[in-house]
Amino acid sequence: MRILALVPVKKNMHRELRLRCFGNILAMQSYFRGQMDIYLDDRGPGDSMVTDFEGLDRVKNLADVRQGMVNDYLRPEHTHVLMVDADAVYTPKTITDLLRTSREDIVAPAVYVEGEEVSGRKWYDTWAFIQEDDSHVRSFPPYFKTTDKVVPMICVGTMYVMPADLFRMGAKYIAMDKITEHFSVCAFARNAGRKVLCNQEIVIQHPLLINYGEGRIE
């Protein structure tokens, strides 16, 4: 197994978040010891041109950045791709737990807003996490319409591991207005007979970006 870890980084990313991102990278390098190739990439204009969080300008920028990284860095020896937001809060074990859930499908963890109490934590990315009945994950518990540990999804975001062969088969990040850039890759996987899963027992966090002068929170 060899994992390609892709970490898009905004040029204007807050200094504290950037330092934490570098800490994540160093931890992964030490943990995986030659089984992972990690690329941070700050291509693109970042969010300087964004006027609408869910609008086509933001989605197109993100789709272009992610697909450009796949095009430039994916090599024949890579068995899996980790796509992760630069400001996500996780540990290297998170990745091994995702792979234990499934090595054949797209697998994401639960994503909560950082620093909130365990009871009633707010889900971070309700826009990207879409259940099989087309409903989005709820902001507060119960997040899903099932209590199952592993939930089949239409789409996930923020952080996930997927087989690299899906990109070789033709999966691409495609910009569509009002739809997250992750949707096209997840749809390709489902059409190819793979699953898109969220393991509720694997938990990561995401900073409340407004505390760092960035973006908005879902």
Q: What is the percent of the chain where pLDDT is above 90? A: 74
Average pLDDT of the chain is 90
> To 10 degrees, the CA torsion angle through 163, 196, 136, 120?
-80
How many Cβ atoms are within 10 Å of 32's Cβ, its own excluded?
A: 18
Q: How far apart are CA 174 and CA 52, in angstroms?
A: 18
Residue 116 has what pLDDT?
A: 60
What is the per-residue pLDDT for 15? Answer: 86
pLDDT, position 43: 83
- Structural domains of the chain sorted by starting position, each given as residue range(s) with its CATH number in brackets: 3-212 (3.90.550.10)
Note the pLDDT of residue 213: 58
Q: What is the arithmetic mean of pLDDT over 133-149?
A: 94
Is a pLDDT exceeding 70 seen at residue 123?
Answer: yes
pLDDT the model gives residue 217: 38
Convert the pLDDT of each residue in 163-184 to its tens digit: 999 999 999 999 988 899 999 9
Q: Provide the CA 86 distance to its chain's centre, in angstroms.
A: 9
Nearest to 203 by CA among 134, 136, 143, 127: 143
Nearest 5 degrees, angle CA 54-CA 39-CA 207?
45
The model carries a pTM of 0.90
Question: Of all residues in the chain, what percent carry a pLDDT higher than 70?
Answer: 87
* Higher pLDDT, residue 43 or 104: 104
Closest CA to 96 of 5, 190, 205, 20: 5
pLDDT tens-place string over residues 84-116: 999 999 999 999 999 999 999 999 999 999 876
The pLDDT value recorded for residue 218 is 40
The whole-number pLDDT of residue 110 equals 97
Q: Does the pLDDT at position 63 exceed 90? A: yes
